[in-house]
Amino acid sequence: MDDIENYRSYLLKYYKLYPEAFPCGFELGFHWHDKRVIKKQKGLIIRRIKLTDGSVYEIVPSSLMPYMSGLTQEVSKGLFLRQWGVPYEAIAYLFGRNAMYWERCEESLGRLSIVGSLVKRHLVPTHLAADEKISYWNGGEVYIGLTSSADCVLGAELSMNRVAEPFDTENLQEAYGVFKSEALDCQADYSPKSVNLDGWRATNQSWKNLFLTITIILCFLHAFLKVREVGKSLKEKFYEIGDKIWEVFRKENAIEFRQEIATLLIWIQSNCTENERVKNKVQDLCSKVEKFVGAYEHPQCYKTSNQIDRPMNMLDRYLYQMRYFKGHRKTANLKIRAWAMLYNFTPFSQRVQKQKNKPKKSSRFEEFNEFVYHNNWLENMLIAGSMNGFKQSHTIR
């Protein structure tokens, strides 16, 4: 870094390889603005550049955590355990420092844009799955709006206020709206085509308010589970009913789907006279045919909630391990966002990596983008989160 000409050549070299990690306007040129020496890091020189539009950016090595709080390689080991909710005290016992240090390191990850840090050389996915997790903050219920696609978490946000009523559309819209703002920052013309939801009225209305042209796909799995709740006592008869319901799901086009639904409705009325509750639930499923057939207009959409259920399961364990939220709402939200970043960037287990070896994928970030910036998962995250992951607005959260 002492030889500024070599340093300039170094930056230009990596700009050609990874232009998305640099600010807009970098290609028009820059000049050296100033520098500072970090005495605690053996006299490390940190330089700032000034672009032609007057904006100033600091260039910091990915080997250092934000605010020079530690070495990334060392911190990555402790934060790796946080994806399972390992207590901060336990991490401090294993890797030193204190519990507050590790808590603040984790929360710093929540300041990055989830969408901007993940989406690099592809467009933001247009087929989504979403659901809300009801959690607890200082004893009151709050929503966590979770958005997922391509096995990655695209949005995770705590609602601003506690749940006020059974159909709290305003709180939900505020939580899901953060995903929208981050997606638009990443791709100005972003407009999702479909989102798979469980059918809750407040969730449906929230997504319709955020994206006027989006198609809402009702989760077929949730409709089946409602039948199963009242039909398990039928034993063998229920398996027959279940097979017929899933036969409807497997139809390849809307015409066949409608025909099979009509056939199922006739069959259940004449073959399920011993249990009115089961018959009513199947009839209710059949009455929602118009909410299901929209999936055939979008072949790449998610027909069931499996896409959102997988991260929701991980989130549920994480929340239980930490016994939900106490303290300030902002720190609670940073923890949720940090969990989403960990979900996307931490490496798969060796067993999973063996299954993803053609070609081998180390994490969800690599699976989505087909490359990594660095072999260490946390350094890879910090590079991907350059400028806090925002392309247009670099506001510090």
Does one domain contain both 270 and 378? no
Query: Is 241 part of any domain?
Result: yes
Query: Is 20 part of any domain?
Result: yes
In single-letter form, the type of residue at position 272 comes to C
Query: Is 99 part of any domain?
Result: no
Give the closest residue to 148 by CA, choosing from 134, 119, 122, 127. Answer: 127
Range of the domain at 239: 220-297
Query: Is 157 part of any domain?
Result: yes
Q: In which order are the strands placed within the sheet that holds 30-38?
A: 30-38, 44-51, 56-59
CA atoms within 13 A on the CB side of 63: 4
Query: Is 84 part of any domain?
Result: no
Does one domain contain both 206 and 323? yes
Does one domain contain both 205 and 123? yes
Does one domain contain both 139 and 271? no
Last residue of a domain, one of 16, 44, 59: 59
Does one domain contain both 259 and 282? yes
Preceding omega of 359 cis (within 30 degrees of 0):
yes
Q: What is the DSSP string of 203-228?
A: HHHHHHHH-TTPEEEEPHHHHHHHHH
pLDDT recorded at residue 392: 64
In this predicted model, what pLDDT tens digit does every residue of 56-100 receive, in sequence order? 999 999 999 988 888 999 999 999 999 999 999 999 999 999 999
pLDDT recorded at residue 170: 85
Decide the pairing of beta strands 194-197 and 215-218: parallel
Rounded Cα–Cα distance for residues 113 and 384 (Å): 10
Rounded Cα–Cα distance for residues 298 and 330 (Å): 37
| Tokens standing for residue 51 | 């672009």
Beta strand extents in the chain (DSSP E only): 30-38, 44-51, 56-59, 127-137, 140-149, 152-158, 194-197, 215-218
Report the number of distinct structural domains present in the chain.
3
Does one domain contain both 341 and 313? yes
pLDDT recorded at residue 162: 64
Last residue of a domain, one of 297, 316, 331: 297
Does one domain contain both 205 and 131? yes
Distances (CA, A) of 239 to 224, 243, 261, 296, 365: 12, 6, 17, 26, 39
Does one domain contain both 163 and 32? no
Query: Is 76 part of any domain?
Result: no
In this predicted model, what pLDDT tens digit does every residue of 19-69 receive, in sequence order? 999 998 999 999 999 988 888 778 888 999 999 999 999 999 999 998 888
Does one domain contain both 206 and 330? yes
Rounded Cα–Cα distance for residues 131 and 336 (Å): 15
pLDDT recorded at residue 165: 59
Give the closest residue to 346 by CA, choosing from 74, 131, 62, 84. Answer: 84
**pLDDT < 70 stretches in the chain:** 1-2, 161-167, 273, 356-358, 392-397
Last residue of a domain, one of 297, 330, 349: 297
Does one domain contain both 332 and 281? no
Does one domain contain both 181 and 317? yes
Query: Is 330 part of any domain?
Result: yes
Does one domain contain both 358 and 312? yes
| pTM exceeds 0.85 for this model | yes
Query: Is 343 part of any domain?
Result: yes
